[in-house]
Amino acid sequence: MTSVPDFGLIFNANFITLIRPIMHQVLLTLFQQPENTAVTLRERVCSTLRRAIHSGALSAGQRLPSSRILATDLKISRVTAEAAYAQLEAEGYLQRRVGQGTFVAVRIIKPAPLRKTVGQLRLSQRGDAIVQTGGCRDPQQPLPFAAGSPELRVFPLKLWKHLTAQQLRVRGEKLLRYGDPQGYLPLREAIAGYLGQTRGVNCDAQQVIVLTSSQQALQLIATLLLDHGDNVWLEEPGYLGARNAFISAGAKLNPVSVDEAGLRPDNTLPVPRLIYLTPAHHYPTGVALNLERRLTLLEMARREQAWIIEDDYDSEFHYDGQPMPAMQSQDRHGNVLYLGTFSKTLFPSLRLAYLIVPPALVPAFTTARTLYDGHSAQLMQAVTAEFIQQGHFAAHIRYLRQLYRSRRDWLLTQVEQHLKTFATPQPAGGGLQLAVWLPPGQEATLTRQARQLGVITPGLAAQFITPQARRDGWLLGFSALTPGEISAAVEQLSKIARG
Ligand SMILES: Cc1ncc(COP(=O)(O)O)c(C=O)c1O
């Protein structure tokens, strides 16, 4: 009897010869299995032994054949067998003892039976709340009338390619390094300059945080500024992306109705910790929040030390006159967080958006960003900065504004002419989509019929929280569709009216 104290096991020297035929079979079978796809012979031997150990075919303390015997059994060279043993010893699977042999050094714990049945995931309460929102997915193809897709067929690709090459040439490997979590400084400067000129936003580059998307900004705000049970006011109907972010933070949602002058401040509601607004162009109806209400809300935020999110998601696309300056420009007490995105003005896969926060919040947001995804891609930030600074951004937006205005007018005319039996448009001064109201209770049926005709018609009813406030309607995206594509899709929808 040989004692092997390291494993606390007793070995019989003859055991090896006894188990050799069994071991031979197990190892040989595993070695020859087609799923053993390791590239080198050595790795194939290693993977054979690892699997034998994990499956329990080889157990802790068990002695393995010498490398010479293993080589003979598996018909490999002795050098390969030696190398495989050395590799597995380095990984902790085996232990080689001079004069004694090679032993399995690891005890595999048998998995206890699962408490829950397989297939039933156990998420955290927060995880459950997130999954139950259904998430927010944007359309991957600009099919008629998917909402929110910009026209990418007119994007100045050649120029973008030129600027990308130029940035790589000029800045080289610097753009390949880790970047500033707050955002690439020249881009922050360009954004601050642009927002100051076009929206009256009062900020410098130190207050700009470059993010992946508005959604990431909303998620960060909800995580950093809301505690479980905090009251949030949000427009009804309103943007699902914002609602879902607040739900994921465990906030208490207080839907506030919207009329022709925007959100109606309601003193009967609990005092909010945060108010979410789309003041320039309410999502989804397109109305603007009037000055009196803006001032009332700003004063309330000051008094209650509440935050206001100003989601200025499409203020670039106003067709009938200029939008009012940003609310942020009227904020004297640092309550407003201003949010914008390049998803519509440039292209969605760019994954760049910006958040302007009061100076005191910058360190918190920057630190939190490091826990999410570190920072946005440096190269694309550099190209975007250059695109803005060389004046191409302003020119591109001027062009898109003209294009989208004519498409909005065309869709409005088409809806009025061909869908008037069931759809009532709500004309808006801007935006990338047109809201149309449907007869009560008919959204689901009409949406199904539209789908059968090959037309996507995003619904409005789901954008209400209060059941009694729900109105049926569609939000028809037009920006990515030519007049011909709009006419063809409206023609399809008109078949619903004709039965
Ligand atoms: C109200 C609102 N905010 C923000 C966005 C932009 O989101 P993102 O930057 O996440 O693409 C959208 C897009 O449709 C929107 O409708």
| Domain boundaries of the chain, sorted by first residue | 2-104, 151-394, 400-498
236 lines ligand 1 (CB under 6 A): no
Axis crossing angle, helix 125-132 with helix 240-248, rounded to the nearest 10: 170
> What is the phi/psi pair of residue 310, to 5°?
-100, 100
pLDDT at 116: 59
Tokens representing 137? Answer: 């997915």
Pocket-testing residue among 314, 337, 350, 432, ligand 1, by greatest number of atoms within 8 A of Cβ? 314
149 in contact with ligand 1, CB cutoff 6 A: no
pLDDT by residue (tens digit) across 130-147? 999 999 988 888 899 999
Q: What are the pLDDT digits (tens) for 12-39?
A: 444 444 456 666 777 888 888 877 777 7
Dihedral over Cα of 290, 291, 292, 293: its sign: positive
**Distance of CA 179 from the midpoint of ligand 1 (Å):** 25
106 C-alpha to ligand 1 centroid (Å): 52
For the CA of 432, the closest atom of ligand 1 is 14
CATH topology (fold) of 400-498: Aspartate Aminotransferase, domain 1 (3.90.1150)
Between the CA of 76 and the centroid of ligand 1 the distance, in Å, is: 61
Which CATH class name applies to 151-394?
alpha beta
Give yes or no for a contact between 293 and 265, defined as CB atoms under 8 angstroms apart: yes
Bridge partners (DSSP) of residue 235 are 256
Task: Let me know: does 204 contact 192? Beta carbons within 8 Å.
Answer: yes
Do 315 and 329 contact (CB within 8 A), yes or no?
no
Helix/strand/coil for 95:
strand
pLDDT on residue 10: 37
Residue 214 near ligand 1, beta carbon < 6 Å:
yes
Question: Which atom of ligand 1 is found nearest the CA of 353?
Answer: 9
Report whether residue 354 contacts ligand 1, using a CB cutoff of 6 Å.
Answer: no
Q: Is 425 helix (H, G, I), strand (E, B) or coil?
A: strand
Give the Cβ contact number of residue 237 at 10 Å: 26
409: left (phi over 0), alpha (psi -120 to 50) or beta: alpha
Q: How far is CA 334 from the centre of its chain?
A: 28
Positions in the chain short of pLDDT 50: 1-18
Return the pLDDT at 37: 73
**Domain 2-104, CATH number (from 3.90.1150.10, 3.10.150.10, 1.10.10.10, 3.50.50.60):** 1.10.10.10
Give the full edge-to-edge strand order of the sheet including 94-97.
63-64, 101-104, 94-97
